[in-house]
Structure 1
Amino acid sequence: MNEQVLHKLKVLAESAKYDVSCSSSGTVRRNSSGGVGNTVGGWGICHSFAEDGRCISLLKVMLTNYCIYDCAYCINRISNDIPRATLSVSELVELTMEFYRRNYIEGLFLSSGVVRNPDYTMERLVRVAKDLRTIHRFNGYIHLKSIPGASRELVREAGLYADRLSVNLEIPTEANLKMLAPEKDHRSVYLPMRYIREGALESAEERKHHRHAPRFAPAGQSTQMIVGATSESDRDILKVSSALYAQPTMKRVYYSGYISVNTYDKRLPALKQPPLVRENRLYQADWLLRFYQFRVDELVDEASPDLDLEVDPKLAWALKHPEFFPVNIYTADYETLLRVPGIGVRSAKMIVMSRRFSRIGFYELKKMGAVMKKARYFITCNELPDKTIHELTPLGVRKLLVPKPKKRTDDRQLTLNFDFD
């Protein structure tokens, strides 16, 4: 690796850091005779660390940060005066193999700015994945970003070499997308999503009849939405997510708090810092939709279109529906247990299995992983609780569970310690 390639890597890795939709979960790719690497259980081995201390396993890089589009929210927009770089296909392939041989990474997350046209860019991305798989026999994890507007043939070919494909939706509504990115529309995003879905379903059907038929994007697809750049409410965002999850191949929707990288653009809000708490609440609500059998209208409605930033969405729902509680641990079914704040999927399954053989109290629930700080106000079990939500009222429970703000102290002032012991 020469100095020029390393300089390009530094520029392109910096440009790729705003894309959060990367995950090495959901696929298994075994090594073969003469091959290099594997993907075991879908979980990456963390070898490398980002500047902020996060442990990462994927080489997260862009093929190029040149782009023909002028999207207001993007650092790589054509009108920005930033360092630009482009890696050739051979340079990126060699870079990936060198990093893997040195045990720095477990796989590759590859995106790109759009140069010339979507098909030209997509063709180069496919060549990288194809060369890694066919020439270098690389069996590690590969996540490719499909370019909006790319042809069906190129998306289908990409799915034969990549473990996961993703197309970023970015802005939930068409009107706001047009306002911030006039060259784009939702049709150019949803079409590649449909191509990925069709390819995966056809591959699954073919493998029923032919055991060794090639797998198409075995880890499915994902997408990303920016939070806080436009006026959409949490209800608008979650309704889009719910519709996407109704598709069989959509595995994850990522939420990225808007970072003010183009402060000069008056179409964008002037945020001092990203809305990280709102981003976290959306991820929690997303989890409830996927694994806890909640519906969007139960979490947010027309009267309250945004999630409560003080408490998590499950606790917020419980405080609005005290009539549902307290839940009897011994008689409640699995779906009812999932509605109890502090009880997760694993805890609910263990409760259902264990209560047939032994009595369950607070200590046993805690050993099963239940967060009793929350759950104690919403359940009855072998040990009767001191007070439930009905005695304390929802407002009282909220006051007990909402963390009190810490008092700020001036570090410049001297403090006296009277602890003579």
Structure 2
Amino acid sequence: MNVDRITEKLNILADAAKYDVSCASSGSDRKNKDKGLGNASNGICHSYTEDGRCVSLLKILLTNHCIFDCAYCVSRKNNDIKRAAFTVQEVVDLTINFYRRNYIEGLFLSSGIFKDADYTMERLVRVAKKLRTEHNFNGYIHLKSIPGASEELMREAGLYADRLSVNLEMPTEAGLKLLAPDKNRQDMIDPMQFLKKEIIQNAEEKKLFKKAPMFAPAGQSTQVIVGATSESDEQVLQSANYFYKNFNLKRVYYSGYVPVLADQRLPALNTAVPLVRENRLYQADWLMRFYGFQVNEIVNNQNPLLDLDIDPKLSWAIRNMQVFPVDINKADLLMILRVPGIGLLSAQKIVAARKFARLGWEQLKKIGVAINRARYFITCNSNEFEKRDLTGQNIKQFIMASSQSKYIKNTQTQLNLF
């Protein structure tokens, strides 16, 4: 093996893969067996797991050659960049070698399109198959499904990968036609529908036959690029909600457009999407999936854009002051979940704890409630911290000022350490 050439390929294809954010290993339960290599773990690519552990995974493209000319993609066929391609065996060897050196816990593998969808997908599947069958590798594998690939290849991919994902690219079909006219939205939807069917069928088979093979145990996800076209946050979240409901997705990932290419259809190179917008979309997504919010409660025709100054839950609360204050000792779980400063676990603890005694501010602090936010929206077994007769705008200003003061204080503390 030519080490220098492999290193050069790795530099090129790992750099090209950084624009793909739709990867996460949470949800898989692949166990090490027969003295194999690795265990699938929760988390991916220098991300943090639910228990706070930082994990990593080899994230590369099989190739950055591509037959498509998508305006937003650095690997577009008309872009003058250095091209490279791994062989199947090279990716397998890299994964095993990196794992044995404890650099990674798994593999995220995507690709440009070589000749056509099946030709490319077949090579992605061969990588996963070799790792599983020849090296007994039980670490996490996420394969990017190629739109237009055959159902046979998709089915085989699901037998070896923990998660599969098909990128929607743009939030709307109109946006896709504008920036990637060679691509067909239906080619993306068909494999997502197929994966949904196979995952549900596999779950039923596992109930009947314990030794039935797993099929994509961590489910499927997708990614949309935000800011390359003019869709509002409402359109982005409505699209995400549609795919959550109709395709049983585990996650939708939001990738702020990075201006790396000059094209009259794209925003100017100096107009990158603010990172805070991407963050607000993830927060809104979390509210939809875990807090019982509907899209039109977070964003709607009157408020199509998320507030960049404050998080979506606080923004909703300020627009709906008529439902507050909430009596923390009487309100149901869904209403408590809507209170700014109260997270999912804290809300569950509140409902459990109040069975034994009425809760006051000290108890709420111990549970983990952010009193500096929640005090504007709740009552409890004490009046000490309650703030009343304030408009939504007043509350917003107070909370923003408090957050800014806390940021300055923390920064000063860090500086004093040096």
TM-score by length of 1: 0.91
Q: Does 1:36 align with 2:37?
A: yes
Amino acid at match of 1:97: I
Q: Does 1:219 align with 2:212?
A: no
Q: Distance in 2 between matches of 1:85 and 1:404?
A: 51
> What residue number does 1:393 align with?
391
Q: Distance in 2 between matches of 1:195 and 1:289?
A: 24
Equivalent of residue 402 in structure 1, options 386, 400, 403: 400
Q: Which moved more, 1:100-109 or 1:268-277?
A: 268-277
Q: CA deviation at 1:403?
A: 4.0
Q: What secondary structure does 1:223 align onto?
A: strand
Decide whether the 8 Å contact of 1:330 with 1:381 is kept in 2: yes
Q: Distance in 2 between matches of 1:95 and 1:398?
A: 51
Determine what percentage of the aligned residue pairs are the same residue: 57
1:55/1:83 CA distance change after superposition, 3 Å: farther
Q: What secondary structure does 2:154 align onto?
A: helix
Q: CA deviation at 1:137?
A: 0.5
Amino acid at match of 1:208: K
Q: What secondary structure does 1:391 align onto?
A: coil
Q: CA deviation at 1:248?
A: 5.8
> What residue number does 2:271 align with?
272
Q: Distance in 2 between matches of 1:371 and 1:343?
A: 7
> What residue number does 1:331 align with?
330
Post-superposition Cα deviations, 1:374-421, rounded to whole Å, max 9, x if no partner, equal 101000011115553x511111111101248989xxxxxxxxxxxxxx
Q: Distance in 2 between matches of 1:346 and 1:386?
A: 22
Decide whether the 8 Å contact of 2:72 with 2:228 is kept in 1: yes
Q: Distance in 1 between matches of 2:296 and 2:163?
A: 30
Q: Does 1:21 align with 2:10?
A: no
> What residue number does 1:412 align with?
none
> What residue number does 2:113 align with?
114
> What residue number does 1:411 align with?
none
Q: CA deviation at 1:219?
A: 0.2
> What residue number does 1:192 align with?
191
> What residue number does 1:415 align with?
none
Q: Distance in 2 between matches of 1:254 and 1:363?
A: 38
Decide whether the 8 Å contact of 2:341 with 2:369 is kept in 1: yes
Amino acid at match of 1:22: C
> What residue number does 1:308 align with?
307
Q: Distance in 1 between matches of 2:245 and 2:224?
A: 17
Q: Distance in 2 between matches of 1:294 and 1:32?
A: 41
Q: CA deviation at 1:46?
A: 6.0
Q: CA deviation at 1:359?
A: 3.3
Q: CA deviation at 1:373?
A: 1.1
Post-superposition Cα deviations, 1:73-97, rounded to whole Å, max 9, x if no partner, equal 0000001111111000011101100
Amino acid at match of 1:221: Q
Q: Distance in 1 between matches of 2:210 and 2:358?
A: 48
1:85/1:350 CA distance change after superposition, 3 Å: same
Q: CA deviation at 1:273?
A: 3.0
> What residue number does 1:368 align with?
367
Amino acid at match of 1:68: I
Q: Distance in 2 between matches of 1:305 and 1:220?
A: 30
> What residue number does 1:104 align with?
103
Post-superposition Cα deviations, 1:323-355, rounded to whole Å, max 9, x if no partner, equal 100000110111110010010110001001111
Aligned length: 399
Q: Does 1:285 align with 2:284?
A: yes
Q: Distance in 1 between matches of 2:117 and 2:197?
A: 20
Q: Distance in 2 between matches of 1:401 and 1:102?
A: 47
Decide whether the 8 Å contact of 2:43 with 2:54 is kept in 1: no
Decide whether the 8 Å contact of 2:128 with 2:141 is kept in 1: yes
RMSD: 2.0
Matches within 5 A, 1:60-99: 60-99=59-98
> What residue number does 2:200 align with?
201
Amino acid at match of 2:232: S
Q: CA deviation at 1:366?
A: 1.6
> What residue number does 2:5 align with?
4
1:148/1:62 CA distance change after superposition, 3 Å: same
